[in-house]
Amino acid sequence: MPLETRSGLRYLRAMHSITLPRPDDWHLHLRDGAMLKAVLPESARHFARAIIMPNLVPPVVTLDDAVAYRDRILAALPGGMAFEPLMTLYLTEGTDRADVERAAASGLVKAVKLYPAGATTNSHSGVRDLTKVMPVLEVMARIGLPLCTHGEVTDSHVDIFDREAVFIDTVLDPLRRRLPELRVVMEHITTEEGVAYAAGGGANLAATITTHHLIINRNHILAGGIKPHYYCLPVAKREKHRLALRKAATSGLPRYFLGTDSAPHVDALKEHACGCAGCFTATNTMSLLAHVFEEEGALDRLEGFVSHHGPAFYGLPVNQGTITLEKRPEPCAWPEKIHAEPGPVTVFQPGFPVHWHVVT
């Protein structure tokens, strides 16, 4: 059976098998308490590391908060599983720049997260006036600590489907012109505009792309009735944007890498008159990505997207372990729900059969 090697990817054509360095998730929500305990194994099963979102209640604002949250994550990790949480701080208008510098020097905190106030789940403590956090951003630019952005404006007069493009024009681009040394990750981009801006942004700019935004567009949420388990923020956009994301993710360009934004909410809060935003994809992301990359004729570029590009941007080594996927005649069967003490969490369902199984 012929074995081809392409950029380190081992691809056994006759067996439809791919082996990759163990991947990382560069945008993950683990929550806390009982929910953390329920969902953490779903990520640790396949991913070696993840950038952990800090939007708890109360948020992870200081180095001490990050240390305590990291310890709770590791305490919830089942025996026999290896997983490294890469911690972030939640940027507020009261963030202490000296504490941010200490956090970066500790090696524990890998980034600071910008949430425009009111943009998404637990973002009410976020930034309303960017000028008030400029001293912190200047320190981050000087020491090379990345800023991860939830890239949407929250102005009520801006259409929800335009919020990412307006954020790029009115917030992100002016900020990067003022602080060109600042390293920025455009998290969970969803538009042609996001793809294009990231493509031309230079070495200090990268973008993460989620699994679900490669699969769904806004019709999946709204056509034929509201589908609450496809509702996420940033909301899925038109089909042309989904196709642009697919082209970017499978391009092989190092500025794009995986950030699942896997976000668990109990069904009672998703299936609600004012339902929570988020898709829970930790369980089946690797199978779904193999399917998408195969559809795009780019299986040889999956390794870069999930295993190489993120570590390169964050200055970390590629993981030593491996993960193997096999394409089998029978479709994958993953659980419909993850059962947590607070209530069931629905696993993202793509709406089509997936034949790529994670086997090791």
How far apart are the two ends of the chain, measured CA to CA in Å?
20
Say whether pLDDT at 52 is over 70.
yes
CA distance 236 to 211: 12
Q: What is d(CA 103, CA 111) in angstroms, rounded to the nearest whole number?
A: 9
For residue 326, count CB atoms less than 10 angstroms from its CB and return exposed for 0-12, middle for 13-18, buried for 19 or more: middle
Mean pLDDT, rounded, for 110-117:
93
Q: Is 20 helix (H, G, I), strand (E, B) or coil?
A: strand
Which pLDDT band holds residue 12 (cuts at 50, 70, 90)?
very low
| Whole-number pLDDT of residue 117 | 79
What is the predicted pLDDT for the residue at 122?
Answer: 58
- pLDDT band at residue 5 using 50, 70 and 90 as cut-offs: very low
Peptide bond into 78 cis (omega under 30): no
- Per-residue pLDDT at 271: 97
Task: List the structure tokens of 21.
Answer: 């360095």
For residues 286 and 325, is the Cβ–Cβ distance under 8 A?
yes
Give the ranges where the chain is alpha helix by DSSP (H).
Answer: 33-44, 63-76, 97-106, 134-143, 163-167, 173-178, 192-199, 218-222, 239-249, 267-270, 285-295, 302-303, 309-314
Under the banding of pLDDT at 50, 70 and 90, the label for residue 121 is low
The catalytic residue positions are 261
CATH class for the domain made up of 3-358: alpha beta
Q: How deeply is 312 buried, as exposed, middle or buried, from its count of CB atoms within 10 A (0-12, 13-18, 19+)? A: middle
Per domain, the residue ranges of the chain are 3-358
Q: Is the pLDDT of residue 309 over 60?
A: yes
* Entry pTM: 0.94
pLDDT, average across residues 153-161: 94
Q: pLDDT above 90 covers what percent of the chain?
A: 91
Cα–Cα distance measured from residue 2 to residue 223, given in angstroms and rounded to the nearest whole number: 45
For residue 317, say if its preceding peptide bond is cis, omega within 30 degrees of 0. Answer: no
pLDDT single digits (tens) 312-348:
999 999 999 999 999 999 999 999 999 999 999 999 9
What are the tens digits of pLDDT across the range 243-254?
A: 999 999 999 999
Kindly tell me if the per-residue pLDDT of 115 is higher than 90: yes
Average pLDDT, integer, range 282-301: 98
* Closest CA relative to residue 97, chosen from 131, 67, 133, 58: 133
